[in-house]
Chains A and B, each alone.
Chain A
Amino acid sequence: MSPQVAAYWYVFLKGVGITLWISWLALILGGVVGLVIGLLRIAPWAIVRWAAIVYIEVFRSVPPLVLFFGCFYGLSFAMKLDLSPFSAATIALTLTASALMAEVVRAGIESVTRGQWEAALSQGMTYPQVFRYVIWPQAIRVMLPPSVGVYISTLKDSSLASIIGYVELTKSGLLVRESTGISFEVLLIIAILYFIINYSISLVGTALERRFKYVH
C-alpha cells in the first residue's frame, strides 16, 4: 500500500464503522417493520393482506438509488422535512430491508406445518400463545439464513448513501481518492473491506445457523 493512502487509514476505519452502523440500524428497523408487514401479509383479512403485498412489492422493486433520492429530496420537499443524509439513508435502507424481511418472516411462518397449529390449538392455546411458544421458535430457525442475506444486501445498498453525501465506507474512499489522486488502489481497498465485512457476516450466520439446528 502506498504511504499516501495508508496515511488515511483512520478514514477507512471510520467508514467501515459507519457502514456497519447504518446497515445494522436499517436491519433492526427493517426487521421490526418487516415482522409487522410479514404478519399482516398472512392475516385472515384480505384487505390487510393486499396492503401488505403492495408494500412488499413496491419497496422490493424500486431500486435503492431511487429510494435514496426519494427520501432525501422527495420527503424533504413533500413534507417540508429537513432530513439529514443520515436520516434519509436510514429510511431508504429500512424501506427495502423491511420489504425483504417481510417475505422472510412470511416464508418462515409458513414453513411451520399445519399440524403444529392444530396440536397447539387442541391443547387449548390461544392464537398468540400458539404463535409465541410453537410457531415462532420454529420459524426463526428458517428465517436466519435469509436474514443474513438481507443484512448483506442492505450493507451493500448502503454504499449508495454516498450519493446523497453521507460519508460511509464508499464515500470515505472516494474522499481519499480525491485528496490523494490514487484511484485503483483506493477502490481495491474499498472492495476488500466490503468483502471482509460481508464474508465475516456470512461466517457468523453459518455459525448461528448451526447452533440453531435441531439435534439430529
Chain B
Amino acid sequence: MSTDPSSPVLRIEGLVKRYGPHLVIDGVDLDVAAGQVVVFVGPSGTGKSTLLRCVNGLEDIQGGRILFEGQPVLSRSSAIHAVRRRIGMIFQGFNLYPHLTALQNVTLAPVKVLGEPAKDVEERARGLFRKVRLEHRAHAFPSQLSGGEQQRVAIARALAMNPHLLMFDEPTSALDPETVGDVLAVMEDLAREGRTMLVVTHEIGFARHVGDRMIFMDGGKIVEDRPPEEMIASPENPRTRQFLGSILHH
C-alpha cells in the first residue's frame, strides 16, 4: 500500500462529473503532494464541493480518474471504505452526531470502524481535544456547543482516524464572525504540522498565510493554480481578478 514518497498523495486526471445532463466538473487535472495546503476559491456553484466529494467517493464520476495514495477511488467498490478512512472531511454544517457527546463523536469511528480498543482511542481523543482547545467541552452534546466549538469537534473527529488527507468544505462559512478565528487557528496548526489539506474557503487571509497553492475554479474548471501571494497580488485571468476583487472589497 505504501507508495513512492515523491509520488503525489492525490492525483486527479481529466475528472468529469455530471448530474444528469448538467456538467459540474469539466476535466480537472490536479496533483497534490504530501504536506501541501491547497486552497480552493471561486464563485458558488462552480463545483468546489463536488470536487471534494468526488475525492472520497461520495459522488460517482463520469470521466477521468482519481488516485489516492496510488489507489483508484471508485465510489461503488468495497475498497472505498478503506480510502475514506484515510481521508478526513470537515463540512460547512459540521454534521456532528447529535445523539453523542463531543467525546463520543470523536471516538465512535476509530472504535467501531477501525476496531481500536476504546481505552486507547479515548486517550488519543483527549489529546485531540487539547489540540483543538476544547478539553473542557469533551462531555457536552453538540447542541450545547457554539458553531465554532462544533467545528473544532468535527476537526478532532476527523483527526481521530489518523487521516493522510484532510478536506475542508467552507469550514467557517456557517460561523459567527467571532468564532471564525478559533477554527482558522486550529487549521493553521494542522498546516504547520505538515498535514496535506484541501481547503475550500473565502478566507483570503488564511489562503495567503497558510496556503501553499491557491486554485481558482470557475465553471467546473481550474482556471488558475498559483502560490496564493502571487495570485492575490496579480491574478492572471480576468475572472480571477474579478472574483478576488469582489471578495476582497466588501
Contact = CB atoms under 8 A, between A and B. Distances in A.
Tell me whether A and B are bound partners. yes
A134 B97 CA distance: 7
> Ordered nearest first, which 7 A-B pairs have the shortest CB separation?
A124-B85, A119-B95, A123-B109, A115-B95, A122-B89, A124-B84, A215-B141
Interface string B87-114: 1110101011111000000001100110
A215 B104 CA distance: 14
Interface of A: 113, 115-116, 118-126, 129, 133-134, 137-138, 141, 214-216
B141 A126 contact: no
Nearest to B57: A121
Contacts of B83: 124
Contacts, number: 68
Contacts of B144: 215-216
Given A123-B109, A125-B112, A125-B113, A118 B141 contact: no
Given A215-B143, A215-B144, A124 B109 contact: yes
A121 B84 contact: yes
Contacts of B97: 116, 119-120, 134, 138
A133 B58 contact: no
Interface of B: 56, 58, 81-89, 91, 93, 95-99, 108-109, 112-113, 141, 143-144, 154, 157-158, 161
A124 B89 contact: no
Contacts of B89: 118-119, 122
B161 to A, nearest CB: 6
A93 B105 CA distance: 40
A5 B43 CA distance: 80
Contacts of A215: 141, 143-144
Contacts of B113: 123-125, 129
A115 B93 contact: yes
Contacts of A138: 97-99
A119 B143 contact: no
A214 B58 contact: no
A118 B58 contact: yes
Contacts of B93: 115
B141 A122 contact: no
B98 A214 contact: yes
Given A118-B58, A215-B141, A123 B95 contact: no
Nearest to A125: B113
Given A119-B89, A134-B108, 4 more contacts: A115-B91, A118-B95, A121-B84, A124-B109
B191 to A, nearest CB: 20
Contacts of B154: 119
Contacts of B141: 214-215
Nearest to B140: A215
A123 B98 CA distance: 16
B108 A133 contact: yes
A98 B161 CA distance: 40
Given A138-B98, A214-B98, A122 B84 contact: yes
A137 B161 contact: no
Which of A123, A138, A214 has most chain B Cβ within 10 Å? A123
Contacts of B143: 214-216
B85 A121 contact: no
19 contacts: A113-B95, A115-B91, A115-B95, A118-B91, A119-B89, A121-B84, A122-B56, A122-B87, A123-B85, A123-B109, A123-B113, A124-B84, A129-B113, A133-B112, A134-B97, A134-B108, A138-B99, A214-B98, A215-B141
